[in-house]
Amino acid sequence: MTDIKRLHPSALMLYFITVILLPMFVLDPVILAFSLAGSVLCLICVKKSGEKSGIWLYIILFFGITLINPLISHHGETELFFINNKPVTLEAIIYGAVSAIMIVGIIIWFRSFSLVMTGEKLLYLTGSVLPKSSLILCTALRYIPLFKQQSAKIRNAQKAMGLYSADNITDKLKGSARVFSILTTWSLENSIDTADSMKARGYGLKHRKPFSLFKYHVSDVVFTVIAAMLAAGAITFAAVGGLSMEFYPNIVLPTASPLIILCYVFYGALALLPALLELKERIKWKYLTSAI
């Protein structure tokens, strides 16, 4: 298990909120590059072994956004060529690439978030405030992998009984409809059993104190303080230093200043924090194994 997965749910929630906040509102190439690099490294650290990374999907999405923007936006002074008597400008291409980096980076951050923040952790954070909504959300998230597993079991059972055939389109549609009907019935029965079980355990009562294995440790406090300080510093220096970039009618980069450089340093450290924790964990593991 990676070091970041062992952190307290509230510390993880604070980190992902802060690391995603600045790239969503600041179109700065350095900030967005740190965001993309940090999100990719974080996904590598937290993803399960053997799981497909989906890198081709992110690459296609990046080039798709980059190429679509100059086709629908024709602003900018540097005209490269014309398509249907409409100019394709350098500024529009660069704006599309920067926007693509922002969107892909945020999507990868949310992918890492979904792997780290399990349904149990989300239920722990929101269960005392919104018990019913939290239960519905966690149940919905839990049923996504269960649907896949149960549908595969039902399809295999149908094949073993000779009721599922994929020889032609008609038989395949009939078999899929039968599997879907059985899966729907199973999900309804399972959801009723889950609701009755939660009610019997007193879920949602006012004075009920839920049992939880999540406890704050010194490492959680240290991580929370470091992440909060880095995020506060990056946001403050970005606001005071005037971190902004203009694309139209021509490209104007942010003026290099000590405040802007400090913003880059603080946010870069914040974005690379999971990778640094993983690196620390691997160095510690190699040291302990070498000492045996």
Give the CA diameter of the chain. 73
Residue with tokens 């974005």: 271
pLDDT grade, residue 229 (50/70/90)? Answer: very high
The residue among 207 and 265 whose pLDDT is bigger is 265
Structure tokens at 57: 């999907």
- Please list, in sequence order, all residues whose beta carbon lies within 8 angstroms of the beta carbon of residue 73, skipping any fewer than 6 positions away: 92, 95, 96
What pLDDT, on a 0 to 100 scale, did the predictor assign at position 164? 64
- pTM for this structure? 0.72
pLDDT at 221 over 80: yes
- Percent of the chain past pLDDT 90, that is, above it, reads 7
What pLDDT, on a 0 to 100 scale, did the predictor assign at position 170? 73
pLDDT in tens, 42-53: 888 887 655 556
The residue among 233 and 175 whose pLDDT is bigger is 233
pLDDT at 212 over 70: no
| DSSP three-state, residue 146 | helix
pLDDT in tens, 47-77: 765 555 667 888 888 888 888 878 887 777 7
Residue with tokens 């802060």: 18
What integer is the mean pLDDT of 139-165?
75
Residues 22 and 35: their CA atoms lie apart, in Å, by 9
| Mean pLDDT computed over every residue of the chain | 79
What pLDDT, on a 0 to 100 scale, did the predictor assign at position 209? 63
What integer is the mean pLDDT of 82-104?
83
The residue among 102 and 240 whose pLDDT is bigger is 102
Q: What is the 8-class DSSP label of residue 246? A: B
Give the lowest-confidence range in 17-31, 81-95, 258-272: 81-95
pLDDT at 256 over 70: yes
Burial annotation 235-271 (CB, 10 A radius, 16+ → b, else e)? bebbeebebebebeeebeebeeeebbebbbebbbbbb
pLDDT grade, residue 1 (50/70/90)? Answer: very low
pLDDT grade, residue 94 (50/70/90)? Answer: confident
The residue among 262 and 139 whose pLDDT is bigger is 262
Give the lowest-confidence range in 34-43, 114-123, 217-226: 114-123
What integer is the mean pLDDT of 207-222?
74
What integer is the mean pLDDT of 132-160?
75
Structure tokens at 45: 């650290």
What pLDDT, on a 0 to 100 scale, did the predictor assign at position 128? 64
Q: Is 48 left (phi over 0), alpha (psi -120 to 50) or beta?
A: beta
pLDDT at 236 over 50: yes
